Amino acid sequence: MSPRTKGKGASSFGIGTTSVLTETVARVLLLPTVVAAVAILVKGYAQPGDGFAAGVVASLGVMLQHLALGRREAERLAVVRHAPILAGAGLVLSLLVATVPLLLGDPVLTHYPRPGGHVIYLGTLELITPVLFDVGIFLLVFGSVVGTMNAFARTISEEQEYAGPGDSGLEYEE
Amino acid sequence: MTTLLVLPAGIAWIVAAVLAPMDGRKPVWSWIAAAGLAASFVASVLLVFETLEGGPVETVAGGWPEGVGITLRADVLGASFAAVSLAVLLAAFVHEVLVGVRSRTFPALVLFLAAGLSGLFLTRDIFNFYVFFEISMTSAYILTGYREKDPQVRAAFIFAVVNLLGSVVFLFGIAAIYHVTGSLDMEVVAERIARVKPASILPIATSFFVAFSLKLGLFPFHFWLPAVYVGSHPSVAAILSGALANIGSYGFLRFGAGLMPKELGFGALVLLVLGVASIVYGALQAISRHATNEVMAYSAIGQVGYILVALAIGGPVGYAAAVVYAIVNALNKALVFLASGIRGPLAGAAFAVGAFSIAGVPPAAGFVGKVALFQTSIDAEGTFRSAALLVLIFVGSALSFLYSFQVYQRGFLAREGGDNRRPSPRAARTLTVALAVLVLALGLWPEPLLVLGEESANLLLEPPNRGLAEGGAP
Amino acid sequence: MILAVSIVIAVIFGSGAFLILQRDLLRLIVGILLISNASILFVMASGLSRGKAPIYPLDGASVSDPLVQAMALTALVIGSSTAALLLALVYRLYVSHRSIDIEDLSTAEMEAADALERVNVTEFDRGFRDEPVQEEQADERELEKEEPR
């Protein structure tokens, strides 16, 4: 493995240092990624897109922070610190949307308003219960991907701190 | 009634999602998890009664017309497997809570496993089955590493690698079956398979057979099983062998006897040979081992052999015997693994009940299973085959009696007086004894078991009566 | 089309099978991922017999079955989560064994099994699975240490 300098610019996964350009681009790209994710989420009812894809895109934005700026910088985002809670909340939300129809006497996963019913539009977005379900999926995917990556990053950086500079602690002999 | 159908998986799933970010080592969360698991279990038991009285319960998710949406269904077979698996999970989980949970994710994982298992037993859609199957398998991979000592992590790795390959084989089978029949609904698939030439179904049937054999740890596919059962923590071993392995027996019954009966008939001889090989191999290996868990791991290989033999003979008696044996075996295995993890007064007695139930000694529940198997072998066609099977089952039982007694003697009798370690909490021992009493009670009053077996067999033998759903085959 | 897809599936599956036979655990995982992706491609292929892929916007031509796309997506999600799990397991194995060579791991496994046999043959009353008492106490101390967090 190539020698590295450990500093603010070190990536979370021990891949070496990053240049100023990468860091700046990573910072700038965070917001647009989130906007793109929300667009994918909202458009999912008339065009390709859904909560899953949106979650993946949004988590890619956060992953970029990890890779370019390192764990400490990435953890300054509150969503990164509380990713597991987000994932749990997303799953609960989706499950509730799926099971609440049971209380109303309909089968699981029934969506409201029923086909043909009156729908409120917000631009092109139809306000129907599947949107809530997809928001839950979005949170679940985002939370679990970010949470997993954060856990990896934390373990690796703890190991590196333990091993001290100069030894990545990750090398192995072939 | 359709609400009841969703409850076993639904309750466990929601509670699991709530608990996932919490610290499961705190007793509060553990007991909430136990309550959720108990509620799931009660729902599944109610479902068993419901299906016994009124036949299968069905609902199409999302209120879609049938053939479009995913159909959830509970019938006697699925509901009873769900009830047994949830019972085992509940017992093992409460046991672990009483001993002390050491990992923050343990309660949530057990609940995810419960949701996955009850989901897959209560669906009529093959792909939905696969998804729930993966949910339960993934939680099981992590559970195997519970307590995170080196043997446990190694066991988890072996378990995950081998069973992932099994899942891949299963997925290949599902894709192929969808290609051939153009449907994923079990009833439609069964109906269309009956009209397809068996030659094109046989490879698919084989891939399903391999996938489920891997889950069960049948003889040529058993290589991973001893390492995993020995390496994992006793409660987890109880969960793996008493709840997760039910996927294998259920899969054989549902996909073999239910969906592809003709192909099952073609393969009967192979199943018989593999079953017999499993019984003999498992018993002989178990006798040669010393450690309690190792003996019981090999014994598990032998026990599933009996299920396969019953399935190979088939017919109402054979299928009923397979169901009864699978249920009894799940309870036995849970009991012995839990009992092997505790110390103190009555631990030996509880273990003895489980061990002798495995051997088929009356009045334990294992006896009922063995009697059902005897009936099956008498029912088998050909006098020679019947006689050979009778001898085999008798020898198998004798061998299992031998290793059960060896283990009991080594582990519990020889220890008297010399055991100065701290006994396990009283509550944990009481729970294990309660499970032992349940096994004894089922042996003394086997009617419920026999009824479940008989009804399930009738259900499997019923010809697929539903007409072709809309949408032609590709 | 069918031939091309079959060849692709076969090549991916074959590469995966080759990697699974390697000693390096990371390669083994890559092999498993390749094989599971071959199976996902197989799922897609099972519906690709009637026309073009069903991607919006549809231009009136016949499209193949969209259901398999949904199945493939589901299988991919499952595959990615198990991949994360496997990598975590390998990392954990590396931390405890300082190696990701399967030979070293099986040596460790053998040693554990031998120790087990010895304990059980020579010291009956200890019984199996009862970790030595000291280790258990150490375990509990560790637990207490973690508790306040």
pLDDT tens for residues B220-233?
A: 898 899 889 988 89
> Chain B: nearest CA to C101, how far in angstroms?
13
The candidate with the shortest Cα–Cα distance to B302, out of B386, B226, B411, is B226
- pLDDT score of C131: 44
| Backbone torsions φ then ψ of B57, nearest 5 degrees | -105, 135
Within this chain, do residues C10 and C69 fall inside the same structural domain, yes or no? yes
- pLDDT score of C123: 44
Residues of chain C contacting residue A151, judged by C-beta atoms under 8 Å apart: 88
Residue A171 has pLDDT above 70, yes or no: no
Residues of chain C contacting residue B102, judged by C-beta atoms under 8 Å apart: 139, 143
Residue A164 has pLDDT above 80, yes or no: no
Q: pLDDT category, B468, cuts 50, 70, 90?
A: very low
Say how far residue B401 (Cα) sits from the centre of its chain. 22
The more confidently predicted of residues A58 and A155 is A58
Q: How many domains does chain C have?
A: 2
- pLDDT score of B149: 84
- pLDDT score of A115: 76
Instruction: Return left, alpha or beta for A46; rule: phi > 0 is left, psi -120 to 50 is alpha, else beta.
Output: alpha
Within this chain, do residues C10 and C37 fall inside the same structural domain, yes or no? yes
The candidate with the shortest Cα–Cα distance to B95, out of B420, B334, B327, B364, is B334
C129 closest CB neighbour out of B131, B171, B234:
B234
CB A120 within 8 A of CB A33: no
Q: C46 and B178 in contact by Cβ < 8 A?
A: yes
- pLDDT score of C61: 72
Residue C110 has pLDDT above 80, yes or no: yes
> Chain B: nearest CA to C39, how far in angstroms?
6
Residue B421 has pLDDT above 70, yes or no: no
Q: Which residue of A has its CA nearest to B60?
A: A107
Within this chain, do residues C66 and C133 fall inside the same structural domain, yes or no? no
Give the tokens for residue A97: 């949307």
Q: pLDDT category, B211, cuts 50, 70, 90?
A: very high
Cα–Cα distance for residue pair B363/B361, rounded to 1 Å: 6
Residue B83 has pLDDT above 70, yes or no: yes
Q: pLDDT category, B88, cuts 50, 70, 90?
A: very high
Predicted confidence (pLDDT) per residue in B170-187, tens digit = 999 999 999 899 889 998
Share of chain C above pLDDT 90, in %: 34
CB B82 within 8 A of CB B8: yes
Residue A101 has pLDDT above 60, yes or no: yes
Test mutation, B1, B2, B32, chain A, max A CBs within 10 A: B2
- In 3-state terms chain B splits into helix, strand, coil percentages (rounded to 5) of 80, 0, 20
The candidate with the shortest Cα–Cα distance to A59, out of A154, A157, A139, is A139
CB B439 within 8 A of CB C15: no
- Say how many CB pairs under 8 Å bridge A and B: 46
Q: pLDDT category, B472, cuts 50, 70, 90?
A: very low
- pLDDT score of B381: 79
Q: pLDDT category, A161, cuts 50, 70, 90?
A: low
- pLDDT score of B299: 92
The more confidently predicted of residues A140 and A157 is A140
C100 closest CB neighbour out of A52, A151, A172:
A172
Residues of chain C contacting residue A144, judged by C-beta atoms under 8 Å apart: 81
Residue A1 has pLDDT above 60, yes or no: no
> Chain B: nearest CA to A9, how far in angstroms?
30
The more confidently predicted of residues A48 and C30 is C30
Q: pLDDT category, A89, cuts 50, 70, 90?
A: very high
Highest-scoring range by mean pLDDT, A75-84, A161-170, B305-314: B305-314
Q: How many CA atoms lie within 13 A of A31 on its CB side?
A: 3
> Chain C: nearest CA to B410, how far in angstroms?
6
Q: pLDDT category, C142, cuts 50, 70, 90?
A: very low
Q: C32 and B164 in contact by Cβ < 8 A?
A: yes
Predicted confidence (pLDDT) per residue in A19-38, tens digit = 888 888 888 999 999 999 99
Within this chain, do residues C122 and C82 fall inside the same structural domain, yes or no? no
Q: Would you tell me how many other CB atoms lie within 10 Å of the CB of residue B245?
A: 26
- pLDDT score of A103: 86
Grouping H, G, I as helix, E, B as strand and the rest as coil, residue C70 is helix
Cα–Cα distance for residue pair B101/B116, rounded to 1 Å: 22
Q: B17 and A92 in contact by Cβ < 8 A?
A: yes
Predicted confidence (pLDDT) per residue in B33-78, tens digit = 999 999 999 999 999 999 999 888 888 888 888 878 888 999 999 9
Q: B474 and C47 in contact by Cβ < 8 A?
A: yes
Cα–Cα distance for residue pair B388/B369, rounded to 1 Å: 18
Non-local CB neighbours of B380 within 8 Å, separated by 6+ positions: B313, B386, B389
The candidate with the shortest Cα–Cα distance to B202, out of B155, B273, B251, B260, is B260
Share of chain A above pLDDT 70, in %: 82
Residue B386 has pLDDT above 70, yes or no: yes
Average pLDDT along chain B: 89
Within this chain, do residues C89 and C117 fall inside the same structural domain, yes or no? no
CB B360 within 8 A of CB B245: no
Cα–Cα distance for residue pair B209/B312, rounded to 1 Å: 12
Within this chain, do residues C19 and C83 fall inside the same structural domain, yes or no? yes
Cα–Cα distance for residue pair B21/B36, rounded to 1 Å: 16
| Backbone torsions φ then ψ of B412, nearest 5 degrees | -125, -40
C96 closest CB neighbour out of B141, B153, B421:
B153
Q: pLDDT category, A172, cuts 50, 70, 90?
A: very low
Q: pLDDT category, C106, cuts 50, 70, 90?
A: confident
Predicted confidence (pLDDT) per residue in B133-183, tens digit = 999 999 999 999 888 888 888 899 999 999 999 999 999 999 999 989 988
- pLDDT score of A173: 39
Give the tokens for residue B140: 């099981």
Give the tokens for residue B393: 């089952």
Cα–Cα distance for residue pair B19/A8, rounded to 1 Å: 35
Burial B42-77 (b: 16+ CB within 10 A, else e): bbbbbbbebbbeeebbbbbbbbeeeeebbbbbbbbb
Within this chain, do residues C86 and C105 fall inside the same structural domain, yes or no? no
Within this chain, do residues C91 and C115 fall inside the same structural domain, yes or no? no
- Say how many CB pairs under 8 Å bridge A and C: 20
Within this chain, do residues C6 and C27 fall inside the same structural domain, yes or no? yes
Q: How far is CA C121 from CA B244, B289, B310, B410, C32, in A?
A: 32, 10, 37, 10, 39
The candidate with the shortest Cα–Cα distance to A80, out of A29, A30, A18, is A30
Cα diameter, chain A: 66
Q: pLDDT category, C146, cuts 50, 70, 90?
A: very low
Within this chain, do residues C87 and C19 fall inside the same structural domain, yes or no? yes
Q: B62 and A108 in contact by Cβ < 8 A?
A: yes
B288 near A CB under 8 A: no
The more confidently predicted of residues B340 and C125 is B340
Within this chain, do residues C129 and C81 fall inside the same structural domain, yes or no? no
Cα–Cα distance for residue pair B106/B89, rounded to 1 Å: 12
Within this chain, do residues C50 and C112 fall inside the same structural domain, yes or no? no
Average pLDDT along chain A: 80
> Chain C: nearest CA to B206, how far in angstroms?
16
Q: C105 and B410 in contact by Cβ < 8 A?
A: no
Cα–Cα distance for residue pair C45/B63, rounded to 1 Å: 30
Predicted confidence (pLDDT) per residue in C59-77, tens digit = 777 777 788 888 998 999 8
User: What's C4's domain CATH number?
Assistant: 1.10.287.3510
Non-local CB neighbours of B398 within 8 Å, separated by 6+ positions: none
Domain membership of residue C134 as a residue range: 101-149
> Chain A: nearest CA to B64, how far in angstroms?
8
- pLDDT score of C134: 42
Q: Taking residues B392-406, what's their average pLDDT? A: 90
- Say how many CB pairs under 8 Å bridge B and C: 132
Residue B474 has pLDDT above 50, yes or no: no
